[in-house]
Chain A
Amino acid sequence: MLKRLLAITTLIIIGYWLAQGLAGVPFGQDRMLVGKYYLEHVVEQTGAVNAVTAVVVNYRGFDTLGEVTVLFIASTGVGALLWSRKKRRTARTEGSIVLTTGTRLLAPFVMLFGVYIFIHGHLTPGGGFPGGATIATAFLLLYMAFVTYEIPHRAFEKIEGAVGMTYVIVGLIGLAIGGYFLYDWIWQTWGWGHDNIGRLFSGGFIPIIYTIIGIKVGTELSGIIDNMIKEEVSK
């Protein structure tokens, strides 16, 4: 009991301290410095309408490269930790009728919707990560509905690796063509899609990268699900 009281008092003091700090950063005030530059130049410098996507992929593309690596580490780590020679699904109860028929109907559309999200990343909110996550939910639905369903995890690992490599190769091409790593050579040097801003084929290499991220996140998350669901079968 004493421990909880002690914890609460400590946290209240820490909370008060944080609040005092945050009071110096009043809510809702316009303190943008670099943000203003982005908003003013995003359309003509990157061709993307969605400023957040431009920042994520183009201006701060390095972060996203790191980001994709973090997820890659997560999926490899889970794979490494839960590794065993023979793993098999040991679920016994089949999904209810509603679930199985629903999944049969919905799975393709959920995947399609996921693909839609990351292809239109530079136009509408959301991008590679939410798109990938939606695809992963489709696979999760299949797992829950059918007892025997398994994703081809060897193939998924290969896709993951290949797609990751393409991301880095896109960066290296930028280095070769434009002289800078992750340089948007489609928009800057080749100048494609300058005319149809706001439509699909615009935004430089943002759609390409977001497709890469979408596929990668989709395969990785389903790989994690696959690793966690299966159990070691000692025979």
Chain B
Amino acid sequence: MNEILIILFTPLLAGVLAWAFDFRGVREVIGLIGAAVPLAYLVKLYPAVIEKPVDYALTVGGFTLQFQLGTMSWYFAAVASLVGLAMAFGLVATSRSGYDWLFALMSFTGVLGVFLSQDFIGFFLLWELMTFASFMMVLKRNRHESLKYFVLSVIGAYAMLLAIGILYARTGALDFETIRQALIIDVSLGTIGKGETILLFTLFLTAFGVKAGAVPLHVWAPGAYSETDQSYTAFFSGALSKAGVYGILLIYMLMGYKLYAELGTFHGHLTFAYVIAWIGAITVVVASFLAVLQEDIRKLFAYSSVGQVGYILLAFGVGSPLGFAGGLFHVLSHAIFKGLFWLVTAAIILQTGRTRFRDMGGLAEKMPFTFAMGLIAVLSLAGIPPMAGFASKWLIYEAAIQAHMPLVAGAIFLGSGLAFAYVVRFLYGVWFGQRPSELEDVKEAPLPLLLAMTILAIPNLVFGVAPGVVTGYINRILMGDVVGGDYYRLVTQTGTYNALLVSTALVIGLAIAGLVYLYGAKARRVPVTDTYQSGNPVTEEFNLSIRRNFYRPLAEALEFWLRYSWDRFYERLAKLSEDFADALRQAFYNGNVQSYSWYLAIVLLILALWGVL
């Protein structure tokens, strides 16, 4: 059916039209329609997808591109289009040119295509399209960051192409289904050796690790996320990073059995899954630590986004069905609360034009609605009960504990702690406290941006209070009753979480606290320098306040670790290769005809030696 075609290519078409008719009103309307259609069609197709996956094949250039809307792809596509719709509303407020619309919607098509495609050529094509479109969004504002992003993701994409080539050479097929069967048969045949399986695994891991922002390959995230139109970053970090995570699932689906057969198990866990778990754990820890130390909101949220995706990697790494359930739920919750965060940042930057903690403060009165949305996002990210964030994190904790992975579980707890730390700083630093004089005339964010925020805030609340809805669908994806309980309760082997009960308790508690605050407590003015010096003398250099170097002591503690930064390592590597290229060019093309004729003579010599010997 060509519904899939409509879902896939309306955003691209709308983007091109928006770019062509680059006028104030027309562009926004086309863009919004383009972003809304996929979600509408997905909802329409929901009943059909429940019974039987919807298939569609398309032959282009001698390749047959197969697309399938199954339960899992429907889930990922729904998450992406939800965030996409929010982004579209955000873009109405923040972007001025058709250029942004074109590439935002093109990356939207790319992501949908990645989730829906069932064969590697279509997968690779739309993967590259998604990378290219998101790259163009960043190129417009900052060349260095965008090139860093593009080089890393192109290296990932080409690693994937190499892996596709090897698979094609070994199994003679390109579509997932045949490859899956061929690999299962291959376990007994053994045409693909252990070394080659490891090569394939590493190639796929690099490709998807880059997009998901796993630690060694996360350097592009802070730059790319902060250097582009913030409402697009909602989609960029909300949906695009999910493509990487979807890829990890793909590895499980296609090569899971083969990897198990070749690599065996390690302390009772699948070796390759263990590797993914540890990558996730390290990403969570490293990204959270770096996030805490940032002074710029956008960098803070970028690192936090990398950290949260680390959660999902970790959940999948655990490998148990509960782990997959937790991971999938976290995909949804990360998309909604991180998307919300970026829209809040977009509103802040749009209205105040500032991005550093130092210049902000006391915006709660000025922008009450955005503050409320920010609060919801903060609660959800920190994993406080009424929000969806808590439910998914809770499932991941359960999975990690059940799978007897203490160190990995430890990493998540540390990560959540740190997450709470930087989120609280954002909450207090930006919204409460002393308002700098220049921010007096700040007004509330424009309506479309507010609309976008509500679109993402509502699911946070709904799925927070009723997580069963999501876990019910996830059970259908995993084809098994992984997470028990009805709409309001989640039951796993080691514990239950009654969301409704907890939320009502929280609301009541808050109400009481509100009453006490309104009638009892006396509000007193607190000077801005009321810091927590714990005894250190307040010198100009060591003046820590919520807005300036709040976590400087933590940075000093981590001094040893902060010396090694992946970023500087890659920069040096790039400079090295560029100098090598220069040296090679000077040496080989040195302009002297004689040396050129020497090259000819050398080739003749090689031919002669090959012939004579």
Residues of A at under 8 Å CB distance from B? 7, 10-11, 13-14, 16-17, 20-21
Contact = CB atoms under 8 A, between A and B. Distances in A.
23 contacts: A7-B601, A10-B601, A10-B602, A10-B604, A10-B605, A11-B601, A13-B605, A13-B608, A13-B609, A13-B612, A14-B601, A14-B604, A14-B605, A14-B608, A16-B608, A16-B612, A17-B607, A17-B608, A17-B611, A17-B612, A20-B611, A20-B612, A21-B611
Given A13-B612, A14-B601, 17 more contacts: A7-B601, A10-B601, A10-B602, A10-B604, A11-B601, A13-B605, A13-B608, A13-B609, A14-B604, A14-B605, A14-B608, A16-B608, A16-B612, A17-B608, A17-B612, A20-B612, A21-B611
A13 B609 CA distance: 7
Interface in B557-613: 601-602, 604-605, 607-609, 611-612
A93 B607 CA distance: 53
Top 4 A-B pairs ranked by shortest CB distance?
Answer: A17-B608, A14-B608, A13-B608, A17-B611
Interface residues of B, number: 9
A188 to B, nearest CB: 45
B606 to A, nearest CB: 10
Interface in B65-122: none
Contacts of A17: 607-608, 611-612
Contacts of A7: 601
Contacts of B607: 17
A7 to B, nearest CB: 7
A30 B91 CA distance: 84
A17 B605 CA distance: 9
A3 to B, nearest CB: 9
A7 B604 CA distance: 12
Contacts of B609: 13
Contacts of B604: 10, 14
Contacts of A11: 601
Nearest to B607: A17
A234 B251 CA distance: 76
Interface in B123-141: none
A21 B604 CA distance: 14
Contacts of A21: 611
Contacts of B605: 10, 13-14
Contacts, number: 23
A123 B604 CA distance: 43
Contacts of A10: 601-602, 604-605
Contacts of A16: 608, 612
Nearest to B608: A17
Contacts of B602: 10
A20 B612 CA distance: 8
Nearest to A7: B601
A11 B604 CA distance: 9
A11 B608 CA distance: 10
A21 to B, nearest CB: 7
A7 B600 CA distance: 12
Which residue of B602, B605, B607, B609 has the most chain A CB atoms within 10 A of its CB atom?
B605
A21 B607 CA distance: 12
A13 B607 CA distance: 10
A207 B170 CA distance: 65
Contacts of A20: 611-612
Contacts of B608: 13-14, 16-17
A16 B611 CA distance: 10
A20 B609 CA distance: 12
Contacts of B601: 7, 10-11, 14
B591 to A, nearest CB: 18
Nearest to B601: A10
Nearest to B594: A3
Nearest to B612: A17
Nearest to B611: A17
A195 B601 CA distance: 56
Contacts of B612: 13, 16-17, 20
A136 B608 CA distance: 42
A7 B601 CA distance: 9
A11 B605 CA distance: 8
B321 to A, nearest CB: 68
A14 B601 CA distance: 9
Nearest to B605: A10
A214 B169 CA distance: 61
Contacts of A14: 601, 604-605, 608
A76 B483 CA distance: 86
A20 B611 CA distance: 9
Contacts of A13: 605, 608-609, 612
A17 B603 CA distance: 13
A20 B605 CA distance: 14
A110 B608 CA distance: 48
Nearest to B610: A17
B101 to A, nearest CB: 52
Nearest to B609: A13
A14 B604 CA distance: 7
Nearest to A13: B608
Which residue of A7, A13, A21 has the most chain B CB atoms within 10 A of its CB atom?
A13
B478 to A, nearest CB: 67
A16 B609 CA distance: 10
B259 to A, nearest CB: 51
B612 to A, nearest CB: 5
A75 to B, nearest CB: 25
A21 B610 CA distance: 13
A208 B74 CA distance: 81
A14 B602 CA distance: 10
A16 B608 CA distance: 8
A232 to B, nearest CB: 26
B600 to A, nearest CB: 11
A21 B608 CA distance: 10
A13 B612 CA distance: 8
A161 B609 CA distance: 49
Nearest to A11: B601
A31 B41 CA distance: 77
A109 B607 CA distance: 52
Nearest to B604: A14
A140 B604 CA distance: 40
A7 B602 CA distance: 10
A96 B608 CA distance: 53
Interface string B402-444: 0000000000000000000000000000000000000000000
Nearest to A15: B608
A13 B602 CA distance: 11
A34 to B, nearest CB: 28
Interface in B242-298: none
A141 B609 CA distance: 50
A204 B123 CA distance: 68
A59 to B, nearest CB: 33
A14 B598 CA distance: 13
B198 to A, nearest CB: 43
Contacts of B611: 17, 20-21
A100 B96 CA distance: 86
Nearest to A9: B605
Nearest to B602: A10
A14 B611 CA distance: 10
Nearest to A21: B611
A11 B611 CA distance: 14
A48 B605 CA distance: 45
A12 to B, nearest CB: 10
A20 B610 CA distance: 13
A7 B597 CA distance: 11
A182 to B, nearest CB: 36
A104 to B, nearest CB: 45
